[in-house]
Structure 1
Amino acid sequence: MPHAQPRRLPPGFTSEDFAAFVKAIIRIVGDENFSIVSADVELKDGDYVNPCKAHDMHAVYDKEFFVSCAVVHPRTVTEVQEIMRLCNKMQMPVWPYSVGRNTGYGGAAPRVPGTLGMELGRHMNRIHEVNVDGAYALVEPGVTFFSLYDHLVKTGLDEQLWLDVPDLGGGSIIGRHQSDFYHFMMHCGMEVVLPDGTLVRTGMGSLPDPASRNSNLSADQQPPNKAWQLFNYGFGPYNDGLFTQSSLGIVVKMGVWLMPNPGGYQAYMITFPRDEDLGAIVDIIRPLRLQMVLQNVPTIRHILLDAAVAGDKASYTDKTSPLSGDELDAIAAKLDLGRWNFYGAVYRRFAEAGLDFIGTFTIGMREMHHIVCVVFNREDPQQRLRARWLTRQLIKDCAEHGWGEYRTHLALMDQIAGTYNFNNSSQMKLNETIKNALDPNGILAPGKNGIWPAKYDKRAWVLEKDEADKLLFAGIPMTRL
């Protein structure tokens, strides 16, 4: 029986090529673990609990732009390896993801339209070990913060071990540890499938456990070294960083350090009403973080971030334009919270784009980064255009001050990668050299973080750097361009 045609064919594929690929991959995973994103199936955005698996649910371009040709759900590490070998043979680009909750950054969507999506988390969701003495867990991509917590409760270990959870606990532990450097400090040991299908264990995992000698088990099933989740570095070089926000491998297992129960904690929320207080607050927090008095990550939140949790914009005002200072004060009073406004370049840029500013400062060990939420109506083409102009302008403004971004949406990866251009973009040249060495066919997540394989014409794939001309052409009034 012939299979449906995808909405977008992979680059360089004919319909016949795709049909041959479908037959081959079904032999690996079965019909029930492979689905084609065909034109006769509506692209439903879903929500956080049930995210879409093949396109960007918060589309900044047309919904049809960042879309997969199909989605495959491997059940085992061995199947991931077989899929990668098949993709190499047939030149099929593949975009792996854990559970698809990369909210606001593209979700499960691929950078290259027509790429095969690989959802790891549907079946590969096992917690292999929770070790109380070592205070660690070994997990697969489908294990979320919620599911690990539920496991600790179910096994009675929640009285002994805690885990550090981000704002949204439904995300993959492996996914978040790769994209959030605070959590990355708490990982220890990875099992990775390289682009050619080779399996690697990093750190102490590369030293075989005596129990695995003369074993007939597949590599991923062999007992690991007992120090794998205890010491990050092994003999070196330290390769784990190669697999963070990169297109160099697929992490299929990872160790994560947990926290022995300290006996309790005290939560605080301190409000301050004046804009001028922001600098003093940062100066107070800095030594507390450096001296590890504060061991977690404090945040300084804008009033609209908390207001958005309590209700949508319509619950506070009937207007669609950005809220005024008086209106923000009224919301702060209603919620019994303080407020601050970053009346600098960031706030002005939002006003120019006609969008509300929502943001938070996150205090690191020796730095502070600003998370900006660009909120827009994804069904309104003009607002999508404004949002793209705003984000691109903010990236440009920040680079001019020597400030950089550490993660972003699919549409902005090339622009941000281009700002890290010291010494004639020597770091990008290094990244491209490693990419082409490990992935000569360029099949694994092409374009991820602005790194394009040699087989791709990078200039043809880079998205527009400046939306201003489009805005003018569309007749959309802007305060300043």
Structure 2
Amino acid sequence: MNKSQPPPPTLADKYSGVPSRLTLIAQTAKDQLYSHKTVPESSLRRHNVRLPPDTTQAAFDAALAALKKNLGKENVVLNDKPLVDGWYLEHPNTHDAFHLVDQEDLVSSAVAYPASTVEVQTIVKWANEYAIPIYPISMGRNVGYGGSAPRVPGSVVVDLGRRMNKILNIDAENASCVVEPGSVFGNAIDRGVGYTPMGDHFANHCGMEVVLPNGELLRTGMGALPGKNEVDNPTWQSFQPAYGPYSDGIFSQSNFGIVCQMGFFLMRETGHQSYMITFPRDEDFPEIVETIRPLAQKGILGNIPQLRHVAQELNVTGLPKSHWYAGSSPLPRQLIRQHASKLPCGDCSWIFYGTQYGNTASIETQLTIIKSAFSRIQGSKFFLPSDLPADHYIHSRALVCSGVPILRELDWLNWKPNAAHLFFSPITPTHASDAQVVHDINVHLHAKYGFDLFPTLCVSGREMHYITNIIYDRSSNDEKRRAAALMRELIVATASEGYGEYRTHLLFADQVARTYSWGNNALMRFNETIKDALDPNGILAPGRNGIWPKKYRGKGWELLGESVEKAVGGGTISPKL
């Protein structure tokens, strides 16, 4: 395709646009990504607007007219236009941009744009009145897990990012803030992991304002205590649990409410130093993990560091797989070695990326301890950013670890034409034996299904997020089926060894939820009890994270076994009702 693409929208143009300082970088990233596209931006839709389940056209038209009257017709948009997948900075809020099943399967009927908590309450009450499922998103950019797509086709997406994107308060002395969803806190609610010492975003939140599925408003933590003279309680962003049961957790990775405001602790500005350590052999993996654990437990490692396989060094250059290898099978290990030997990292197997924080003397002391610990692994090499070329990934990593967002991580999407990806994200203890089991499963199954393995381990003192990125060509039904089969078997194989995913793509939510089956599925029965109590009409994001309301439960909506593979290339994820 033409390499010269229309410029990405800036924040001045669109709420989901790019900051002005990144416009040139975004343009380059877009041009590079689109140069590998072989499919058109959109194709003629085969179906009309996808209606919500059990809803006639007349009933839907009447319901949408009522919603437009409440929100303004410009703030309720029918999803009847061509479905454009776009890319990360111009992603759709109507469907899954990285569609694994049919593009028109995980699709909304309309999109609503509330401007306030009161308008969110209005939408929720409307959904109950007209029995229409709604699916809230903050920005919908979590494209490796399903993006903006509703789990139940025909749901109305509630896009909180366009008009609810304000920073409501910053308390510099307290180092805290209160923000709306578009500012963005979706990653925190999904319990995503970041790069800095405060990379556990949900652990660093403090207080929520939540619209419940019946339209009532709830404040958690100290926010439940009214402030003097009708202002917010001054301790709302200072103390997390407050009095009684700590309820915040039930609103993360769930469909129990819509979070409209959220408080966060902030990190004070300080010095920082990023670095990279390479290790020469694949079999160094267990010793690397054993070295990381005590350093992390003692608080010596400054941030949530990452351990990556050297294959990622090829991938993050932004060059396509065809640049490195003419075949269609996974890159042979020896070929990866040959190419790596010509890169700044050299012929190695594992790369550890870390960042230390504090004043100069403190950082030097920390690095001395870290160098000493890792030097026990024969052949390890230590690099500072100044030791590496200006175009090496470490410079972008140093920026993001200092709190400056970057776009470099998008470059790996150039690996395949029409690239899309899935994340497989199990948790293991920070023990060599556990990590090795999960890694070996990934090595075996990626080879079985013909995908390159790109593991990134986000490591802390007691647990590791083993995140692997399955990159596939979304124009190929064969690759989609293999990617779905790989995900299915990875979930089964790791769960059978006692390791579960901490989050997953919405198509695999039912399967992952079923793996947490201790006590005759006690956890799911508990979640369903809460769901039915809070959402008796089943209108709020049915099926999100495998939690189905009574209205849908046991009626064929769950996706288990080979359901996803069978839906690729002409099937459907919806039951025959």
- Is 1:8–1:114's contact at 8 Å kept on the other side of the alignment? yes
Pairing partner for 1:7 from 26, 49, 58: 49
- Higher mean Cα deviation, 401-410 or 178-187? 178-187
Change (3 A) 1:6 1:125: farther
Q: Which runs of 5+ in 2 are unaligned?
A: 1-46, 194-199, 352-435, 571-577
**SS, match of residue 111 in structure 1:** coil
CA distance in 2, matches of 1:185, 1:266: 24
Q: Is the aligned partner of 1:239 residue 2:242?
A: no
- What residue in structure 2 maps to residue 20 of structure 1? 62
CA distance in 1, matches of 2:565, 2:507: 17
Residue type at the aligned position of 1:204: M
CA distance in 1, matches of 2:258, 2:564: 37
- Higher mean Cα deviation, 109-118 or 309-318? 309-318
CA distance in 2, matches of 1:77, 1:348: 48
Q: Is the aligned partner of 1:339 residue 2:349?
A: yes
Residue type at the aligned position of 2:191: S
- What residue in structure 2 maps to residue 395 of structure 1? 491
Pairing partner for 1:252 from 245, 260, 267: 260
Q: Is the aligned partner of 1:187 residue 2:205?
A: yes
Q: Is the aligned partner of 1:378 residue 2:474?
A: yes
- What residue in structure 2 maps to residue 359 of structure 1? 455
Work out the percentage of aligned pairs sharing the same amino acid.
Answer: 43
**SS, match of residue 178 in structure 2:** strand
Q: Which runs of 5+ in 1 are unaligned?
A: 144-171, 213-222, 475-481
- What residue in structure 2 maps to residue 161 of structure 1? none
CA distance in 1, matches of 2:564, 2:123: 42
- What residue in structure 1 maps to residue 190 of structure 2? 178
Provide the aligned length of Structure 1 versus Structure 2. 428
Pairing partner for 2:545 from 412, 433, 449: 449
- CA deviation after TM superposition for structure 1 residue 410, in Å: 0.9
- CA deviation after TM superposition for structure 1 residue 305, in Å: 2.4
CA distance in 2, matches of 1:174, 1:37: 23
Q: CA offsets, 1:23-70, max 9 Å, x none?
A: 1100111121111112xx211101111111011111111111111111
Q: Is the aligned partner of 1:297 residue 2:304?
A: yes
Pairing partner for 1:79 from 103, 119, 124: 119
- What residue in structure 2 maps to residue 319 of structure 1? 327
- Is 1:177–1:187's contact at 8 Å kept on the other side of the alignment? no
Matched ranges for 1:416-435 at <5 A? 416-435=512-531
Q: CA offsets, 1:273-330, max 9 Å, x none?
A: 2011111111111011111111411111122323222122123223222100111112
CA distance in 1, matches of 2:102, 2:444: 27
**SS, match of residue 316 in structure 2:** helix
- CA deviation after TM superposition for structure 1 residue 6, in Å: 5.1
- Is 2:441–2:494's contact at 8 Å kept on the other side of the alignment? no
Q: TM-score, normalised by structure 1?
A: 0.86
Pairing partner for 1:267 from 266, 270, 274: 274
Q: TM-score, normalised by structure 2?
A: 0.72
- CA deviation after TM superposition for structure 1 residue 346, in Å: 1.1
- What residue in structure 2 maps to residue 329 of structure 1? 337
Change (3 A) 1:8 1:392: same
- What residue in structure 2 maps to residue 159 of structure 1? none
Pairing partner for 1:199 from 217, 224, 234: 217
Q: CA offsets, 1:94-133, max 9 Å, x none?
A: 0000011012100000011111101001010000111111
Q: What is the alpha-carbon root mean square deviation over aligned residues?
A: 2.0
CA distance in 2, matches of 1:103, 1:364: 25
- Is 1:174–1:251's contact at 8 Å kept on the other side of the alignment? no
- Higher mean Cα deviation, 45-54 or 426-435? 45-54
Pairing partner for 2:177 from 97, 113, 137: 137
CA distance in 2, matches of 1:274, 1:244: 39
Q: CA offsets, 1:400-450, max 9 Å, x none?
A: 100000100011000000000001001100000000000000100000111
**SS, match of residue 182 in structure 2:** coil
